[in-house]
Amino acid sequence: MFQQGFQQGFQQGFQQVVSYVAGTSVLRQYDVGDQIASAGLWKIHSGTKKTTGQKVAIFIFEKKIFDNTLLKSYEKKETEKVYQVLKREASQLARLRHPSLLEVVEAVEESRTVITFATEPILASLANLLGNTENLSMVPDDIKNFELDELEIQKGLLQVGKGLQFCHNDAKIVHSNLVPEAIFVNIKGDWKIGGFGFSTFLNNPDVRPDYEYPDYDSRIPCYAQKNYDYMAPEFVLDESLEFANDMFALGCLIYTVHSHGRPPMENRNSIHNYRKNIERLSSTKMTAAEFQTSKYFDNVLVSTVKFFESFPEKTKDDKISFMKGLVRILPQFPERVLLRKILPCLLQEIKDHSLLPYTLPNIFFISQKLSSTDFCEKVLRPLKPIFVVSEPVQNLITCLDQMELFKQKTSSSVFKDDVMPLIYNALEAKSPVIQEKVLRVIPTIVDSLDILTIKSSLFPRIQNLFVHTTILAVKVTTLICLHSLVKSLDSFTLTEKLMPLLRGIKTKEPSVMITTLAVYDEMGKHVEKDVIATEILPQLWKMSVVPTLNMDQKFMKAIKLLSTRVEEEHSKQLRDIKNIEEHTKKYIEGGNVGSSIDFEKLVGATSGVTNSTNGVVNGQSKVQMEMHPNSFTLETINLASSNNSMAPLNGSIQPDIFSSTIPTTSTVHSQSRNSMNSMNSLNSLNSFPSPINNIQPSSNFNSLSQQPVNGNLSSLNHAQQLSNQNTHSFNNNIPSLPPPKTGTTQRPNTPTMPTRTSNITSDLFNTIPGPKFSSGGILQPGGILQPNVMKPTNNNSGNQKISQADLTMFDPFSKS
């Protein structure tokens, strides 16, 4: 046991030696910042604890200060006396706990070079705020040109009175040196009493305390001695140490504050001057409790601050009444009091959720005076936990009402990370009042959000609310909200998510229909024409005929506008496609329309090179080269391909017709040969065989060369050459029509146009999308015969012949 005690004592002693040599634990555990204030011999620095980040004020006394102030003959015991006064200030303060007394965080410690202790964060000492910046290396911005407001003075003196009341009535201690250097103003603006270096406990009234005459020693710094300017005459002249000494000092302090740092007596530390000055002063004895009830503090602002200081003791009804009336009083407070005193007190009360509807309006009023940085640090951070509190509903509604304030005081990233959870929680709330409120707020913040947040986080929640709500007002408000989002959504979300959502609307209420129309109309400004034509317009037509609507003209107007846009954009697209095709054709043919290019001259040749002297250049006849730019040429199809199939034309398409409905090439040329005897008009098509399936294909493709057509000799000769080489393969690739029905005229070996009695009117024929060869290729996209369109007739009127117009219609080599 003895050995264990010896080891513990040795360790403690060793730690004290290390602390004395290497510095105090305060300096090791805290990051010491810049000097922010001074109080007599103390230099006060900001500090942050390394492990927890706790903010403190670090009091540091540097012993080297005596190197210049003390005389060489000054004894060591006098130096120790100064050290004892400084250490007593902190040690006495650490024994006392009261809201009006400076709170000690780290006890006083001494090393070989410094004496330190740590307290709650402070702004400055009262002496600094009154203009005394002695022992302050550089004056901080918070102290420069600082002017105390009357309310701040009243509030501060009231707090000092409460502190003295505690010291006198409860702690039974006399301060004995209540000077501006002993009063500290914390970051909330509260005045705190410190500087208990000369304090004395009066616990036993029957025992007279030791009295020490205040003899001033010029070799000791004045801040390490009692100040004659604030000493009571009872103490100096009557040698009486009592609580009334502090009340006299308080009166002198009040005078000093209102006279900008000048005390009522300037004794210059002389007892002789003190005796002269004290005679012209009159004093009234007053206790600390009586001081607090004086008329000086009788105004609504001071009373409001006093109520705040005792707020935890109040009943719930009193708290609610106070918060309701506070909004009306807040504009009368100085801004510094609002920011440093009132706002922190309000933020402490947000833990009581039942008071939030009454507390939040006061917080937001004061927040308008904050900078963006202060708002995020002092207000937004404490408010974030209440964004998920949905009961009572006034909590979220009050926060949603201040969305404009959140936008002004936060950056886009902070708004997205810290404020948007409020929106998300409101959208997921069960209360229709909250749902409708947040839906009306969202359009005001859309411009502050990026598309990813809208698409991935905001829109799905609105979509979910729209699908599940059964309340008409919420449904309509959701559509209004979606209308505001359309301009911020991408095409995929509009077509794949919003469009199905609107299609799924089942209610036929006029308000819903009209609002949906507005959404569709806005979507029409941001989606492609294909979506308008295939998705939006059909839905608008369906909605326009609902019998519950009596304002269908709105739908008609929207339909017309959207249809006009589709027509204009589609026409433009077709024109662009046609221009591209024409330009492509020009470059393929080797020149522009209306101008010829001398290729031989371009390449430097003296004469052209031809493969034939019979008007064929590079395997193509002159007639073919002079055809219309959009006319068909057989060179676009490889008739001699080894796989007996036609080569694709720059891609592949799916067949849209049956092969049995397309006339064969032999049939076409058989009709051409018989048409030489007739030059009737297009009405001669009435003799075209009906049904068309009765036409037999020609058995000999070489018949193309037996009866040449007027004006197309060269084209037919070229076709004959090709057909002689590829007769067998071509016939295998050309679809044939079924044999004629029983009773029809048999086709002879030489192809002739049979006699038919079918009458098909020109109007009906014009409605049949048959093959056209006048421009482009053989089959244009719109020129396809549909099966079973041409109906057979029974009126046979004799033999009629095909006209030249009919021949050229089916002749791919004609110059129509």
Q: For all residues of the chain together, what is the average pLDDT?
A: 74
Tokens found for residue 207:
């025992």
In a domain, 688, yes or no: yes
Q: Report the distance separating Cα 367 and Cα 434, nearest Å.
A: 23
Place 465 in a pLDDT band, splitting at 50, 70 and 90: very high
In a domain, 509, yes or no: no
In a domain, 642, yes or no: no
What CATH number does the domain containing 209 carry?
A: 1.10.510.10
In a domain, 201, yes or no: yes
Residue with tokens 């201040």, as numbered in its chain: 402
What pLDDT was estimated at residue 74? 57
What pLDDT was estimated at residue 755? 40
Contact 798, 755 (CB under 8 A): yes
Contact 439, 478 (CB under 8 A): yes
Which residues are 201's β-sheet partners?
173
How does DSSP assign 362-397, residue by residue?
A: HHHHHHTTS-HHHIIIIIIHHHGGGGG--SSTHHHH
Boundary-marking domain end, from 177, 200, 224: 224
Mean pLDDT is lowest, of 174-183, 261-270, 472-481, for 261-270
pLDDT at 564 over 50: yes
Place 543 in a pLDDT band, splitting at 50, 70 and 90: confident
In a domain, 196, yes or no: yes
pLDDT at 437 over 50: yes
Boundary-marking domain end, from 174, 195, 224: 224
Cα 161 to Cα 167, 178, 194, 226, 518: the distances in Å are 10, 12, 13, 21, 68
What pLDDT was estimated at residue 598? 65
Tokens found for residue 682:
């297009």
- Which of 43, 80, 45 lies closest to 62, judged by CA? 43
Place 68 in a pLDDT band, splitting at 50, 70 and 90: low
Number of domains in the chain: 2
Mean pLDDT is lowest, of 47-61, 217-231, 563-577, 660-674, for 660-674
pLDDT at 94 over 90: yes
Mean pLDDT is lowest, of 83-87, 329-333, 504-508, 653-657, for 653-657
Q: Tell me how many helices (H) and strands (E) the chain has.
A: 37, 12
Contact 108, 87 (CB under 8 A): yes
What pLDDT was estimated at residue 605? 63
Place 709 in a pLDDT band, splitting at 50, 70 and 90: very low
Which residues are 620's β-sheet partners?
617
pLDDT at 478 over 50: yes
Tokens found for residue 456:
């991935």
Place 589 in a pLDDT band, splitting at 50, 70 and 90: confident
pLDDT at 86 over 60: yes
What pLDDT was estimated at residue 218? 78
Share of the chain above pLDDT 90, in %: 33
Domain that holds residue 133: 17-149+159-224
738 phi and psi angles, rounded to 5 deg: -65, 160
Which residues are 59's β-sheet partners?
44, 117
- Taking the alpha carbons at both ends of the chain, their separation in whole angstroms is 127
Boundary-marking domain end, from 178, 209, 224: 224
In a domain, 505, yes or no: no
pLDDT at 525 over 70: yes
Which are the contacts of 196, defined by CB distance < 8 A and separation ≥ 6?
Answer: 88, 89, 92, 93, 96, 173, 175, 182
pLDDT at 769 over 80: no
Whole-prediction pTM value? 0.62
pLDDT at 756 over 60: no
Average pLDDT over residues 428-440: 91
Place 254 in a pLDDT band, splitting at 50, 70 and 90: very high
Nearest 5°: the CA angle 59, 65, 71 is 145
pLDDT at 149 over 60: yes
Higher per-residue confidence, 104 vs 556: 104
pLDDT at 808 over 90: no
In a domain, 104, yes or no: yes
What pLDDT was estimated at residue 306? 87
Most confidently predicted of 328-342, 533-547, 784-798:
328-342
pLDDT in tens, 367-422: 999 999 999 999 999 999 888 887 788 888 999 999 999 999 999 899 999 999 99
- Which of 770, 753, 767, 768 lies closest to 663, judged by CA? 770
Place 794 in a pLDDT band, splitting at 50, 70 and 90: very low
Q: Report the distance separating Cα 585 and Cα 598, nearest Å.
A: 18
pLDDT at 752 over 90: no
Higher per-residue confidence, 207 vs 126: 126
In a domain, 793, yes or no: yes
Place 260 in a pLDDT band, splitting at 50, 70 and 90: confident
Task: Reduce the DSSP state of residue 341 to 3 states and report it.
Answer: helix
What pLDDT was estimated at residue 34? 92
pLDDT in tens, 550-559: 655 677 888 8
Q: Report the distance separating Cα 435 and Cα 486, nearest Å.
A: 20
